[in-house]
Structure 1
C-alpha cells in the first residue's frame, strides 16, 4: 500500500473541506443580514454545519499526518512543508476548541482562511519525504516542534479574534487623526495577508507554467585538511529573477514580459549563493501584495477594511476581546514549553549548549517576551479592547516573521527547515 499517496490525498481532501466550511461560515453570518425570518436560528444552523464539516476536515488532515509518518518512517515535522501543514492542523484544532466554547460563526470566517493559507503556503515547498539530518534524529523533534506549533496555533486564533475586534470597533468613516491611524493599521495588516496570498499565487502560477532561471556562482569551501577550494554552485529560480545573485553568471533564463535578464544584482553584503534568490522572493512578495491590494481597492472603491467591517455588525466586541485573550492565555504556556524549555533541552543534546543566539532562537525569545508583555498589560494594567486587539495582531505578525522570514531569509542553524 502506498501510504504517501494516501497521505497526499487526505491533505488535499482536508484542504477542499476547509474551503467549503469557510463558505458555509460566510453563509451563516451573511444570512443574518438578508433573512427576514429567525436570523439567529439561521446562524446557529449553518454555523453548526460548518463546524461539523471543519471537524471532518481536521480528521482527514490527521489521517494525512499519521499516514505520512508511517510511510515516511519518521515524525513529519522535519521541513517547511511538514511544519506548515502541521501548523494548519494545530490552528484548526485550536479553532474547534474555541468555537465549542463561544459558538461564534464569524470566528470561522477569519480562522479558516488562516488554516487554508498555512496549507497553501506549505505547498510552495518540496513535499518529498527527506532523510533526517543527524540533528533531527531525536525524540525531541516530536516534543519541541509539536508543542511550539500548538502554542502558535492558539496565537493564530487570538490574531483572528483581534483583527475581528478591530474591524468591528474602528470607525472607518471618521476623519479624526486617531481614527485614521487605526484605519491605516488595519489596512497594513490586511496588506501583509495579501502579500502572503500573492506570494503563494505567484509561485503556483510560475511553477505551473514551468518557468525557470539558473545561475552559477563560485563559492569558497574549506576541506577537512583546512585547504580552500573554489566550487561552482548552481542556483535555480522559480520566479523571474528581478534580483540576480551577487557575482553570479546567468546560465539560462526564460523570458518574462520581455525581460531576458535580471534588472539588478543583490548587494555584496548579502552572502551565500541563495541570498539573491531570497531577496528576489521578497521583492516578488511585496510587488504581488501591492498589485493584489491595489486591484481590490479598485474593485471595492474603498479601503478593504471598511468593505469587510459590515459583516461584523451584530458581534459583541466584548466577546471578541474575550476570545482573543483566552486563546493567547491558553497558547502562551504551551509555547513556553515547546519553543523555549524543550527547545533548550534539545539544543543542549544536539549542539552541546542551551542557548547560542541563533536567529531562530532569538526570534522565538522575542515572541515569548512579546506575549509575556501582552499578558502583563492585560492582567496588571487593564489593557483590554483595542489595545489588547492590536497587541494580538502585532504578536502574530511577529510569529509569522519568525516562521517565514527567519527560516527563509536569515541563515542559521535552523536553515534546514527551509529546505
Structure 2
C-alpha cells in the first residue's frame, strides 16, 4: 500500500469521527431519557475513530519516510500533512485530560482542513536541498509543528467560547464588533475550504496553464546567465508572472489569456502564481461564504451559536488556556532555539531576519503576551478567547501567508 492510500484512509476516518462528535453533541436533543449517557457513548465512539484515523495517518507518515529516504517534512505538502497529524495528536491529548466531546466538533475539522489544504501542493517525493540535509530537520520541524498543533486546539476552544458567549442578537456597538470578529474568523476557515475545493475541482477537470519567465541564474563559477523557467498554474491565471510569456493555457469561461500581470515589485518566478492563489482564495471564499449565508439566512456565527448552549464556558476557557500553555514551550524549543542552532550550522548565523524567522519570533512574543496577560492581569474568558483565536491566525499567516506573499530562505517549501 502506498503512502497516499494510508493518508486517504486516515482522512476518511477523521471525517467519520467528526460526524460522531456532532452526533454526540447534537443528538442529546433526541436522547432526552439520558442525554449524558448518549454524549459519553458517542464521544467514546468518536475518539476511538479518531485514534484509528491517526493510525492510518501515521502509516502515511512512516511509509512516505521510507519512500523519500528522509523525514517527510521538507515541503508544504509534507509539512502540512504532518501538522494535521500533530493537531489530531494534540487534540487526543487534551481530550483525555478533559473528556470534552464538544471539542472534537471544532478541533478535528481544523486537522481535516489542514490535511485538505496540504493536498493542493505537489505530492512528488523531492530530494532534499543541501540546507535541509541535517538531523536538525527532524528536531526543528517536528517540535515546531507539535507546538503549533496545541495552538490550533487552543484556537478551536477559543472559537467555541466566542460562539457560545458573544451576543449575536444585540445591536450594541461593542457586540456588533465582536459579531464581525467571529464572522471574519469563520470566513477565514471557509476561504481555506473554498480554495481546497477549487484546486480539486480544476485538477479533476484537467485544467492547466503554463508561463515562461527569464530568470537570472548565478552558477558555481560565479558567471551569471539568463535561463527560461516554466511556471505551471492549476487555477485559471487571473495574474500571470511579471513579463511572463504564455506557453499554453486551457480556456476558462472564454478566457484564453491572463487579464492581468503581477506587479514588478513582487519578486521571484512564482510571484504571479502566488498572487493568483491569494486572489482565487479570497474569491472562492466569498462565493462559498455567500452560499452558506443564503442557506443559513443569517450570519454563520449566529447560526452556530444556539448549538453550543449546553457547553460549560469555564471548561472551554480552561481547555484553551491549557492547550496553549502546553504548546508554548514546545514551540519555543522547535521554532526558535532549535531553529537558530540549525541556522548557525546551515547558513553560518543564528539570526538573519528572514521573513519566516521574523514571523516565528512574532508568534513567540504574541503567545508570551497571552500567557502574561492570563497570569498577571487576569485576562480570562472572552478576552483570553479572542487572544487564542487571533494568535492562531498569526500562526497560519506564518505557515502559509509568508510563503505566499514574501520570498525568503524558506521559499523552498513549495507554496
Class of the TM-score when normalised by the shorter of the 2 chains: over 0.9
**1:246 and 2:242 aligned:** yes
Instruction: Please identify, of 369-378 and 51-60, the stretch whose mean Cα deviation from structure 2 is larger.
Output: 51-60
> 1:144 — aligned with what?
140
Residue by residue, what CA displacement relative to the aligned partner does 1:56-77 show, whole Å, maximum 9, x if unpaired? 1111211221222123211111
Give the total of aligned pairs: 415
| 1:16-415 equivalence runs, <5 A | 16-415=12-411
User: Structure 1 residues 227 and 198, CA, compared in 2 at 3 Å: closer, same or farther?
Assistant: same
Q: Could you state the TM-score of these two structures normalised by the residue count of structure 1? A: 0.97
Q: What RMSD in Å do the two structures reach over aligned CA positions?
A: 1.1
Residue by residue, what CA displacement relative to the aligned partner does 1:348-393 show, whole Å, maximum 9, x if unpaired? 0111100000111000000000000000000000000111000000
After TM superposition, give the deviation of residue 252 of structure 1 in Å.
1.6
Structure 1 residue matching 2:183: 3-state secondary structure: helix
After TM superposition, give the deviation of residue 231 of structure 1 in Å.
1.9
After TM superposition, give the deviation of residue 106 of structure 1 in Å.
1.0
Cα distance in 1 between the residues matched to 2:234 and 2:21: 35
After TM superposition, give the deviation of residue 223 of structure 1 in Å.
3.7
Cα distance in 1 between the residues matched to 2:70 and 2:193: 31
After TM superposition, give the deviation of residue 110 of structure 1 in Å.
0.2
After TM superposition, give the deviation of residue 317 of structure 1 in Å.
0.7
Cα distance in 2 between the residues matched to 1:227 and 1:52: 60
Residue by residue, what CA displacement relative to the aligned partner does 1:188-222 show, whole Å, maximum 9, x if unpaired? 00001011111111111111111111112223333
Residues 275 and 404, structure 2, Cα contact 8 Å, conserved in 1: no
Query: What residue ranges of structure 2 are gaps of 5+ in the alignment?
Result: none
Query: What residue ranges of structure 1 are gaps of 5+ in the alignment?
Result: none
Cα distance in 1 between the residues matched to 2:61 and 2:268: 34
Kindly report structure 1 stretches of 4+ aligned residues shifted beyond 6 Å.
Answer: none
Residues 408 and 418, structure 1, Cα contact 8 Å, conserved in 2: no
Cα distance in 1 between the residues matched to 2:3 and 2:267: 38
Residues 154 and 330, structure 1, Cα contact 8 Å, conserved in 2: yes
Q: Could you state the TM-score of these two structures normalised by the residue count of structure 2? A: 0.98
Structure 2 residue matching 1:221: 3-state secondary structure: strand
After TM superposition, give the deviation of residue 227 of structure 1 in Å.
4.1
After TM superposition, give the deviation of residue 225 of structure 1 in Å.
4.6
Cα distance in 2 between the residues matched to 1:143 and 1:227: 37
Corresponding residue to 2:3 among 4, 7, 22: 7
Residues 245 and 274, structure 1, Cα contact 8 Å, conserved in 2: yes
User: Structure 1 residues 326 and 195, CA, compared in 2 at 3 Å: closer, same or farther?
Assistant: same
Cα distance in 1 between the residues matched to 2:341 and 2:213: 38
After TM superposition, give the deviation of residue 346 of structure 1 in Å.
0.5
